[in-house]
Amino acid sequence: MNRTTMKIRTLRSSLLLTSTLTALLISTTGCSSTGYEIPTTICGRAIDPSALQPLLPPGQNFEARHQISEEDQSACFIFIDKANALIISEIRDQSRFDVMEFAKQNRRSSDNPRKSEVGDDTVTSDDWLISMNACTGRGAGDYYVLDVSIARETGEAKPQELERFTQSYLPEAMKEMGCTQ
């Protein structure tokens, strides 16, 4: 074996080792790492940060802004690095409507809508979830609507992540809106 062949094999081994280590490093630290900490309370609602995190992009700065705070409405905008990442809207004292029909007709990005087991009447899609629930603390015929929307194009479907977040968020939100004790 000549000296040039040995150098090429040594270089190839080094490049292979470097690319393997880089791939390992990316897979262990990759896109799921964030430079921000998600608080346990956002916009006046206690949350499970581990349920919210999969819905958010990587970045450095987390901010939650409570935009609407009225007796029968609430809207929370979550920003990562000053870009809107998630919108959580709540409306109380609503009349009952067909959530699936609403999702099919009135939502621009309701790709792949399907019924969900979360809440009373819930539809989730690739990037959006809407849930209608009886607001028993307010009397018969009143309903609470939770709308959770990923505010940026990701190209990734996240219906299970939306459901998990909603499942953790819904009890506290309904209590804060006066729908449960």
Q: What is the CATH number of the domain that holds 140?
A: 3.40.1000
Q: Which residue did the predictor score with more confidence, 156 or 49?
A: 49
Domain annotation covers residue 149? yes
Note the pLDDT of residue 108: 55
Angle at alpha carbon of residue 139, lines to 138 and 143, rounded to 5°: 70
Residue 9 has pLDDT above 60, yes or no: no
Burial class (CB in 10 A: 0-12, 13-18, 19+), 21: exposed
Residue 59 has pLDDT above 90, yes or no: yes
Contacts of 3 (CB under 8 A, 6+ apart): none
Average pLDDT, the chain: 79
Domain annotation covers residue 100? yes
Please count the other Cβ atoms lying within 10 Å of the Cβ belonging to residue 33: 8
pLDDT per residue as tens digits for the range 132-146: 999 987 666 689 999
Mean pLDDT of 26-30: 32
Note the pLDDT of residue 180: 82
- Measure the CA–CA gap between 162 and 159, rounded to whole angstroms: 5
Domain annotation covers residue 73? yes
Nearest alpha carbon to residue 97 among 129, 70, 130, 68 = 130
Domain annotation covers residue 8? no
Nearest alpha carbon to residue 91 among 180, 181, 150, 179 = 179
Residue 83 has pLDDT above 70, yes or no: yes
Domain ranges, residue 52: 41-176
Angle at alpha carbon of residue 154, lines to 27 and 58, rounded to 5°: 50
Domain annotation covers residue 17? no
Mean pLDDT of 58-77: 90
Domain annotation covers residue 7? no
Domain annotation covers residue 117? yes
Residue 54 has pLDDT above 90, yes or no: yes
For 46, list phi and psi in degrees, rounded to 5. Answer: -70, 135
Q: Which range, of 15-24, 51-60, 122-131, averages the lowest pLDDT?
A: 15-24
Domain count, the chain: 1
Contacts of 147 (CB under 8 A, 6+ apart): 87, 88, 89, 90, 91, 128, 129, 130, 131
Domain annotation covers residue 181? no
The first and second tokens of residue 88, run together, are: 């959580």
Residue 104 has pLDDT above 70, yes or no: yes
Residue 171 has pLDDT above 80, yes or no: yes
Residue 13 has pLDDT above 50, yes or no: no
